[in-house]
Amino acid sequence: MNSSLRLRAGLVSIVLLAAFLGVWHLATRSTAPVTTMSPEYAKLMGLTATQGKSAMPGPLDVGAKLWDHLKRPFYDNGPNDKGLGIQLGYSIARVGAGYLLAVLVAIPLGFLIGMSPLLSKALDPFIQVLKPISPLAWMPLALYTIKDSSISAIFVIFICSIWPMLLNTVFGVASVRREWINVARTLEVGTVRRAFTVILPAAAPTILTGMRISIGIAWLVIVAAEMLVGGTGIGYFVWNEWNNLSITNVIIAILLIGVVGMLLDQILARFTRMVTFPE
Amino acid sequence: MSTFDNPFDPDRNLRAGCACGQHRSALEHEQAESALRCEPIESEDKRYEGVVASAVMRAMFPQDMARRAFLKSVGASTALAALSQFFPLQTATEVFAQGGAPEKKDLKVGFIPITCATPIIMAAPLGFYSKHGLNVEVVKTAGWAVVRDKTINKEYDAAHMLAPMPLAISLGLGSNAIPFAVPAIENINGQGITLAMKHKDKRDPKSWKGLKFAIPFDYSMHNYLLRYYLAEHGIDPDTDVQLRSVPPPEMVANLRADNIDGFLAPDNICQRAIYDGVGFMHILSKEIWDGHPCCSFAASREFITTAPNSFAALTRAIVDATAYASKAENRKQIAEAIAPANYINAPVTVLEQVLTGTYADGLGGVKTDPKRVDFDPFPWQSFAVWMLTQMKRWGQIKGDVDYKAIAEQVYLATDTKKLMTEMGLSPPASAYKSFAVMGKTFDPAKPEDYLAGFKIRKAS
């Protein structure tokens, strides 16, 4: 039963994809030349103007271009033109750096806040105000104070991924079942040991859910941040191709951003499954 | 006549004969000045060799009479051979061309991907930076504000900026006041007013009330030229039309999406709109003011004082590249050199049309104007004064303005003149020149009178 469901779902997915590509292909077919123009003039004009080619590329154009990129993902033609593999590498490295910093800060801090009702109440207003700020709103401030655009980008990742982790850690730590803590207390387990052997395993699923939300947000934000500061990364690639009005390359970048985002999410999802326990 | 005459010509006077000391007579000086500003000699090495040889001849024969007699009696080639034997002309030339050793060799220069940046960009692939002993990385940047911030943050040692930006930064408009300087203008002309295809029959600016226009940045020649053009036709740019600051690449997309009716934009963007069939060229900016500056090469005062030799080498490279770009026959090669994704990232056809001046106008015609964009490095201080008058006219600066002091502080005409002379180019004698914008003459000595002559301006 289960496998047949999966088969049917797969089939529907393929049909949907085919329908989407078909509609896309039909919608972007070139029309006949709109006006007649002298050949001398036509030579100076683009295909959109001369052959009525749609400004939107079709799936075949995108496929061909994607193949081009996949064939040589790591070329390096100087500071402003690098292969997609390198650009993605830069983006992932930035996300990794900002995200790890956020983990290092958010989880210990979350533990502290979650274990102390006083701190929890005292810090709550600050967290509530800081949490909803769009990470990109920090960008000008970061650029101004840090005076380095690549560190600013990492800072933006840090600041956007810290909140979900922090809140989830606080929540997970605070809602560990009383009985478990009481049992530990009766057995005279020290605070540090209690934190690591009782609270941490109990709160781990919630914490990892927070980390999973964070990585998603971080990946969303890096693209926008790189479009702003430029230089390297997949966001810069989108901006550079947008500059050239190359919609084909922009679509390819969108596709890859989606795939990488999915992979990052899947990795965290796997970790979450590893620490989940049946109650 | 250029300044690079043969130093072994017995008839040539090596002593000053005119104001700048580079010409035999004042008349010749005038001719050189009115000719192309920076006419490069067939080979750069030859040019430096000429300059050095002149200096050596001058040192050996302080009297012109004696030198002439010597040259007449032995002949130029013998003199050159004799001279080279006991004076290492070759080495001296090399030392001269390099100047002092640069304090910092690895430099980063930011640019915006438009054809205005041609000299800055092409100096990398065509080797002008390395020729002057520098290892320069040219970095593409997302927008004018980012270029400004990255240069202020010292991520870039120098950068491509709109000509009014260094003035604005030095004055603290739109940022903290940080002294900036312009050793060279990048390009003159090279912009255009592009309108959406639907306004094909609306060519009279008087009928443009209510339209939406895009400009690249508030502190740009584009802003001032468009405002000037509109105001001359009786349209108040602040109340009758909408002006929006839009990054150049988004202009074409916005024009296609019908969000704007037109723009005064840097080139390759205007031509790109035509290439993609969404707009047509209403006028070239050159029709508003022929020879207007557009973009500049700028660096902070701090960089200039901490690394004067690097700065001088950088300026030399830029001046050299600008001289190269000013020659029509080099333009095709330049278009191909700067088109790849690493630099401007645009179709070669578009760049060629901009640089060679033979272009499709978007209405089915092919036009030719070799001066559509041109390159001239000299930072005229009168340009700066004009920009300041417009900043004041449109309320960007308020109160009294010391036009001359600001212009001279930011536009380094004196230093550039010295460098150009050393390089064997012929800079103009004065840093101020008068010019006409839409038929109205601008006298740099009387900016306030000029300003008072405008009917349409922001009420202050």
Domains and CATH numbers, chain B: 26-98 (no CATH), 106-188+293-348+367-430 (3.40.190.10)
Residue partners of B216: CB distance under 8 A and separation at least 6: B144, B162, B222, B245, B246, B247, B248, B251, B265, B266
B213: pLDDT strictly greater than 90: yes
How many residues are present in chain A? Answer: 279
Give the residue numbers spanning the domain of A250: 84-275
**The predicted structure's pLDDT at residue A131:** 86
Is A13 among the domain residues? no
Q: What is the mean pLDDT of residues A27-35?
A: 69
Q: Do B341 and A242 touch (CB under 8 A)?
A: no
Sign of CA dihedral A183, A188, A191, A195: negative
How large is the average pLDDT for residues B141-156?
Answer: 87
For residue A227, the chain B residues in CB contact (below 8 A) are: 142
In the sheet with B158-162, reading across from the earlier edge strand, the strands are B135-140, B106-111, B158-162, B295-300, B180-185
Give yes or no for B360 touching A (CB within 8 A): yes
| Strand residues in B205-292 grouped as ranges (E) | 212-215, 242-245, 262-266, 279-284
Residue B28 is predicted with a pLDDT of 54
Calpha distance B137→B156 (Å, rounded)? 10
Look at residue A70 and tell me whether its pLDDT is greater than 60. Answer: yes
Region B309-316 average pLDDT: 90
- Tell me the residues of A at the B interface, defined by beta carbons under 8 Å apart: 35, 37-38, 40-41, 43-46, 48-49, 55, 77-81, 143-144, 147-149, 227-231, 236, 239-245
Per the domain annotation, does A46 fall within a domain?
no
Please check whether residue B279 touches A, CB under 8 A.
no
Count up the domains in chain A and report the number.
1
Min Cα–Cα distance to chain A from B439, Å: 32
Residue A47 in any domain: the answer is no
CATH number at residue A158: 1.10.3720.10
Average pLDDT over residues B61-85: 66
Residue B3's pLDDT band (cuts 50, 70, 90):
very low
Please check whether residue A3 lies inside any domain of the structure: no
Size of the A and B interface in Cβ pairs below 8 Å = 99
Substitution target from A151, A228, A229, A244 for chain B, most B beta carbons within 10 A: A244
Report pLDDT for B99: 62
Query: What ipTM was predicted for this assembly?
Result: 0.72
Residues of chain B with Cβ-Cβ distance to A35 below 8 Å are: 364
Query: Whole-angstrom Cα distance, residue B24 to residue B30?
Result: 11
Tens of pLDDT, residue by residue over B9-26, are 555 554 444 445 555 555
Q: What is the mean pLDDT of residues B227-234?
A: 93
Does residue A163 lie in a domain region?
yes
CA angle A217, A223, A227 (to 5 degrees): 145
Residue with tokens 């109340």: B239
Q: Which of A45, A77, A79 sits opposite B137 (nearest CB)?
A: A79
